[in-house]
Amino acid sequence: MLLGVQSSEAGAFGGFHHPNQGYRHLQMYAVITTLGPMAIGQLECPDLAALDLLRAYAHDCLHYGSYRSYKLRGDEVIRTQYGLNFRRHDGRTYSAPDLAGSPTTRNLGIVMEGACDREARTIARAAAQQCGVIEPGDAVHRYVFRDITGRLTVEDTHDLARAEVRAAAAPSAAAEAFLKSLGGFERAIDARYERFLAEVGRDEAEDLHATVLTSMITGVLTPLCEWLRQRRGPRAFEALFLSPAYFGPVRRT
């Protein structure tokens, strides 16, 4: 993991949602930045920056630890499996993208990203409680604290979708862009995954989440498929996730 603490870009605002950072699958390492203004390399809110770093570290460790398999096709190396997801040699993936604006997900990429972040936020929330880190009073850090600890509300995400709310809360254009990314990630990843757990797991959402994580790390889908089969019938995994295009005609490139 590489940690950036200072930036030459005017007004740069670092943290989990800083642009162009996160886990790099090809290199198998993460690039992250410290939370807050990065002009002089000094932390504006050390406790919150530590929580943000913990969330990022846990999140990317789960990506790093997820199972991968590769095959050699001619002189090309193909990643055929990553966690729960599968990919054919021509790039087709097992599940299709969600429809635009969908409040839930049936896309395995979103499921895995959401599972990683849910677990990372749980760890950060426990650390905040143990260390006595409380919600700050100013708007930017209040949103960030709620994001790190998994406590963003629907009202928060609605507010963050509004440019005038972000502009009023943020001390700089870069901080406003950070808040926009924060809200977008919540809507596209975390909220969809929570809805998925509620729809499919119902009263057993926590157990489903743990089963998803286990299958991601081991690459063995039998426990997840069996969990779903017992509650939703035969071939439930395929019914939930399989895209018809996965076994369709090979695309010409």
Successive 10-residue mean pLDDT values, the chain, 253 residues: 82 89 80 87 88 96 94 88 92 93 96 98 98 94 97 96 95 93 97 98 98 97 97 96 82 41
Residue 95 is assigned to a structural domain of this protein: yes
The rounded distance, in Å, linking the Cα atoms of 56 and 120 is 7
Count of domains forming the chain: 1
pLDDT at 148: 98
State the pTM of this model.
0.92
Is 168 part of a structural domain of the chain? yes
Residue 26 placed within a domain: yes
Residue 194 belongs to some domain of the structure: yes
Chain position carrying tokens 């992250």: 32
**Domain assignment of residue 145, yes or no:** yes
What's the confidence (pLDDT) of residue 29? 79
Instruction: Show the DSSP H helices in the chain as ranges.
Output: 46-65, 108-131, 139-148, 154-160, 163-169, 173-185, 191-196, 205-218, 222-232, 236-241
Cα–Cα distance, 161 to 155 (Å, whole number): 10
Domain membership of residue 252 (yes or no) is no
Within a domain: 92 = yes
The domain in which residue 116 lies consists of 2-247
Measured CA to CA, the distance from residue 187 to residue 86 in angstroms comes to: 25
Q: Is residue 158 part of a domain?
A: yes
Predicted confidence at residue 252, as pLDDT, reads: 41
